[in-house]
Amino acid sequence: MKTDLYNLFKLPEIEKPLVFLAPMAGFTDAAMRRITGQHGAQLTFTEMTSDMGLLHDSAKTWHLLECFEDEVPVVAHLYGSNPETLAEAARRVEERGGFAGIDLNAGCPVKKITKSGAGSALIRSPKLIGEIIAAMRKAVKLPLTIKTRLGGHPGDVTIFDILKAAEDGGADAITVHARFVSQGHAGEPDLRLLAKVKEQASIPVIGNGGIRSAWDARRMFTESGVDAIMVARCAIANPWIFEELRSGLVAVDPPEIYDPTRGRPRRDLDEIRTVLIAHLHAERELLERNRSLYECPDDALTIERTLSTSFRCHLFRYLHGLKGSSYLRSHLHSLDSMDAIMVAVDSCLERERIFREKRP
C-alpha cells in the first residue's frame, strides 16, 4: 500500500495542505526552522550536511544538525557521493535521534558540492543514486527521501530514471525541484514534467521550485498533482509565507494569476519587529548551545560579534524595501552586538512608519 506523507512523518492529519520548508545552506538552521514552524511550515529540513564531515566527527558539521526541542518535525539533509559513507553517516544521524527522516541531496548545483561528485552531479548517474539509496535504506529505519531535479538540461531529462532508481532502492518519497540544473533557480518550473513524475511514482512526490505566492502553490498542486509543496528562497526572513500559502490554498476565491510587480505584502511594522527579535534571540540561543556542545577555537569571536555577522543574511531580508534599510546597510561596521542591531532596526522601522503616515 502506498504510504502517505502524514503517516510517513507522523504529521497531524488535519493540517492540510502540506507546505514544507526546503533545505538551504546557510539558512535553515534550528532558529529559522523554529520560526517557520511557528508560522505554518509542517515539516522542515536541515542545512546540507556532509557525510564525510559527520564521519570525521567535525564540530563544524555536526552543529548543522542541532535542533530545538520545540521545532516541528525535522528531516536531516545529507550530501555525498559514496554509498558506504552516506549509509554510515545516515546510521549515525539516526543513532543521534530527534529526526523525522533522512534526505539525500541529489540536486544542488553549487560547484563546491558537485566537484566531489555530490549534489546535482549525481543526476548524471541514476544507477549510483539507486546504490546510495539502497545502502542508506539498509542502514536506517527512519523514513528515507531524496531531493533532486528534472535533469542536467532540457535535452537531458533523467528524472524518470532517478525516480525508478530511488523507488527500487527503497526511498519513501521524492522531492523534485521542477527545474533543470542548467536553470539554477531561474525560469519557470516545468509542471508538465512534474505531473508525469507524479503519474509514474509509486511513492509520494513533493514539488519544489518557483513558489512565491498562493497562486504559484495552487498551480503546482493543480497542474502536477503533487502530494506536498516545498518552499525555499521565498521563506528567507519571510516565515509568514507559510500561513499565506496555506490560507490561500483553501480560499474559496483564490487569485486568478500571480502579479510579480506586487512583491511581498506590506506587513505590519510591529509584527516585523516581533518576528525579527524572536529569530535573533533564537540564533543567539543556537550559538550558545553549539558553543557548549562543541569545542570552540581559541580565536573565535564572542557570541555577540558572531551573531552580528551571521544574522545579516536574515536581517536585510526582513527589512527589505523599508525606508532606512539602505542606511542600515551602509553602517554594518557598527552592528557588533544585539543591542546595536536592535537600535538600527528600530531606526529603520521608525523611518518606514513616518513614511507610511505621510503616504498611507
Residues labelled as active-site residues: 108
Q: Could you please report the per-residue DSSP string of 114-172?
A: HTTT-GGGGGG-HHHHHHHHHHHHHH--S-EEEEEESEEETTEE-HHHHHHHHHHHT-S
**Contact of 120 with 114, CB cutoff 8 Å:** yes
Surface-to-core class of residue 312, CB atoms within 10 Å of its CB (0-12 exposed, 13-18 middle, 19+ buried): middle
> Between vectors from CA 108 to CA 167 and to CA 4, what angle results, nearest 5°?
35
Q: How far is CA 321 from CA 66, 214, 222, 318, 343, in A?
A: 32, 21, 32, 9, 18
| Residue showing cell 502579479 | 259
Residue 347's closest CA among 255, 326, 286? 326
Q: Which residues pair with 76 in a beta bridge?
A: 102
**Contact of 214 with 255, CB cutoff 8 Å:** yes
Query: Would residue 119 be called left, alpha or beta, if left means φ above 0 and alpha means ψ between -120 and 50 degrees?
Result: left
What does the buried/exposed string (b/e) look like for 22-51 if buried means 16 or more CB atoms within 10 Å of the residue's CB? bbbbebbbbbbbbbbbbbbbbbbbbbbbbb
User: All 3 cell numbers of residue 237?
Assistant: 526572513
**Contact of 62 with 39, CB cutoff 8 Å:** no
User: All 3 cell numbers of residue 228?
Assistant: 506536498
| Residue showing cell 509542471 | 191
Give the length of the chain. 360
